[in-house]
């Protein structure tokens, strides 16, 4: 009898808690695509205190502080761009390191569903403190860093050729001292034709137990991609600019341009765990590479922008535009979402991001798949027509609405 009494009391308490449940935000009726949890169905998503608290059908939104009507829209994890350039600054000759070619993150992220952006090598160990103070601390976007193996970072020209400024111990020490912000190391723009920068970055990667991203090439004759993938890099290291064909034979390609076949060692590299990142950029995406690769099933591991003033005003535009291109080439929408959310989270070892699990940080993108006639082109002028294009309706970062294109929140965030 006593036991029964307590049971009734317990059920009463749970019922009371459920009835009294208030949410910060409930997103109603959207198609939830959450690749980590294998979700692709119409569900509601409830958010409280910056976290996802429920993903279910018909969540009672009557007590929610804000309700978002996402009917006909895609609800995905906040997008993660692992190759951007956001070390914006005031030094005219500093290229992507505290210079004017980089962009201020908040101006270019939330409007396209991006909640996390990784600055790919703008800062090196010497310039990282300025990057942390001016950008990481001052941005609403979650900004992370792939630390350049060059101490001075991506200052352009001779700065990036100086192997005496490529110190793996100093780089690793700065990374480990800032492990909340640094997710790995970057090698780029080296024209010396030796393996020194790659090997130094991998050494830093081993010391800090972090991955390395490589922007390879710029030598003629080019160094062997096969050796890069199978001998110098480790599983989990990232090859960015996967689908580029550079002029003057300064970098080997992944697809044999003569036969249109993905080279056998590239398949082997994928099996070995090398990450193939898009890193679209200003000069780093050719349809002549991407179309045959996608057709053969060689999809990008991660989709990223290589965002800077040069690329965003060229054929790249933004992350959603690149994702739309891959959908246009035949990749499925869930695969494209996965390569822009859960997979990049794993690649940079930030598994708390990139999914909409109960308890996860509430970073959410709400997208519309627009239907119509759209044009997509690459740096060579090759143009294809597409019928589908992603558009960002809303971005939620850490449980707060930070972008609302058409005012679908009720009540609206007024600012």
Binding-site residues from annotation for Zn(2+): 83, 85, 186, 241, 306
Near Zn ion by CB under 5 A: residue from 81, 306, 378, 393: 306
Distance between CA atoms of residues 309 and 190, nearest Å: 21
DSSP one-letter code for 197:
H
Instruction: Check: CB of residue 149 under 8 Å from CB of residue 171.
Output: yes
- From the CB of 122, what's the least distance to Zn ion, in Å? 9
Q: Which is nearer to Zn ion, 32 or 278 (CB)?
A: 278
Bind-site residues: 83, 85, 186, 241, 306
Distance between CA atoms of residues 51 and 239, nearest Å: 33
DSSP one-letter code for 351:
T
Site for Zn ion in 95-154 (CB under 5 A): 120
351-to-63, 112, 221, 319 alpha-carbon distances in Å: 31, 22, 39, 21
Q: Which is nearer to Zn ion, 215 or 252 (CB)?
A: 215
Alpha-carbon dihedral sign for residues 158, 200, 183, 395: positive
- From the CB of 415, what's the least distance to Zn ion, in Å? 32
- From the CB of 314, what's the least distance to Zn ion, in Å? 13
Q: Which is nearer to Zn ion, 34 or 306 (CB)?
A: 306
| Spacing of C-alpha 307 from chain mean position | 11
Please choose, out of 137-145, 194-202, 223-231, 305-313, the segment that lies near Zn ion by the rule CB under 5 A: 305-313
Element (H, E) at 378: none
Residue, CB closest to Zn ion: 306
Q: Which is nearer to Zn ion, 87 or 125 (CB)?
A: 87
Q: Which is nearer to Zn ion, 120 or 408 (CB)?
A: 120
160 interacts with Zn ion by CB under 5 A? no
**Total binding residues for Zn ion by CB under 5 A?**
2
Please choose, out of 294-302, 303-311, 315-323, 374-382, the segment that lies near Zn ion by the rule CB under 5 A: 303-311
Instruction: Check: CB of residue 75 under 8 Å from CB of residue 31.
Output: yes
Distance between CA atoms of residues 183 and 176, nearest Å: 9
344 token code pair:
């990049």
Instruction: Tell me which residues touch Zn ion (CB under 5 A).
Output: 120, 306
């Amino acid at each position: 009898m006593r036991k029964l009494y307590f049971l009734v009391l317990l059920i009463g308490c749970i019922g009371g808690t459920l009835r009294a449940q208030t949410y910060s935000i409930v997103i109603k009726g959207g198609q939830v695509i959450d690749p980590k949890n294998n979700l692709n169905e119409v569900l509601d998503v409830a958010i409280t205190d910056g976290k996802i608290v429920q993903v279910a059908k018909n969540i009672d939104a009557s007590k929610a502080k804000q309700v978002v009507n996402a009917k006909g829209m895609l609800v995905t994890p906040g997008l993660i761009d692992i190759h951007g350039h956001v070390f914006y600054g005031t030094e005219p000759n500093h290229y992507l390191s505290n210079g004017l070619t980089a962009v201020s993150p908040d101006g270019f992220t939330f409007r396209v569903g991006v909640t996390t952006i990784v600055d790919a090598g703008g800062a090196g160990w010497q310039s990282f403190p300025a990057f942390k103070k001016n950008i990481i601390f001052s941005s609403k976007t979650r900004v992370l860093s792939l630390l350049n193996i060059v101490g001075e970072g991506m200052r352009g020209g001779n700065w990036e050729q100086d192997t005496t400024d490529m110190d793996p111990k100093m780089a690793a020490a700065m990374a480990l001292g800032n492990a909340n912000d640094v997710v790995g190391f970057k090698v780029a723009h080296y024209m010396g034709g030796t393996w020194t920068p790659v090997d130094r970055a991998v050494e830093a990667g081993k010391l800090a137990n972090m991955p390395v991203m490589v922007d390879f090439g710029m030598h003629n004759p080019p160094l062997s991609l096969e050796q890069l993938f199978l001998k110098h890099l480790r599983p989990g290291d990232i090859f960015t600019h996967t689908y580029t064909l550079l002029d003057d034979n300064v970098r080997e390609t992944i697809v044999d341009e003569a036969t249109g076949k993905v080279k056998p060692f590239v398949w082997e590299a994928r099996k070995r765990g090398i990450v193939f990142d898009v890193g679209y950029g200003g000069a780093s995406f050719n349809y002549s590479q991407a179309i045959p690769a996608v057709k053969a099933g060689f999809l990008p591991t991660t989709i990223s922008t290589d965002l800077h003033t040069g690329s965003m005003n060229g054929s790249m535009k933004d992350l959603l535009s690149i994702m739309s291109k891959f959908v246009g080439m035949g990749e499925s929408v869930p695969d494209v979402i996965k390569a822009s959310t859960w997979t990049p989270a794993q690649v940079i070892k930030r598994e708390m991001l990139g999914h909409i699990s109960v308890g996860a940080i509430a970073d959410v993108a709400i997208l519309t798949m627009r239907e119509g006639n759209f044009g997509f082109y690459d740096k060579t002028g090759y143009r294809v027509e597409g019928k589908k294009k992603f558009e960002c309706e809303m971005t939620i970062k850490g449980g707060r609405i930070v972008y609302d294109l058409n005012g679908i929140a009720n009540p609206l965030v007024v600012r």
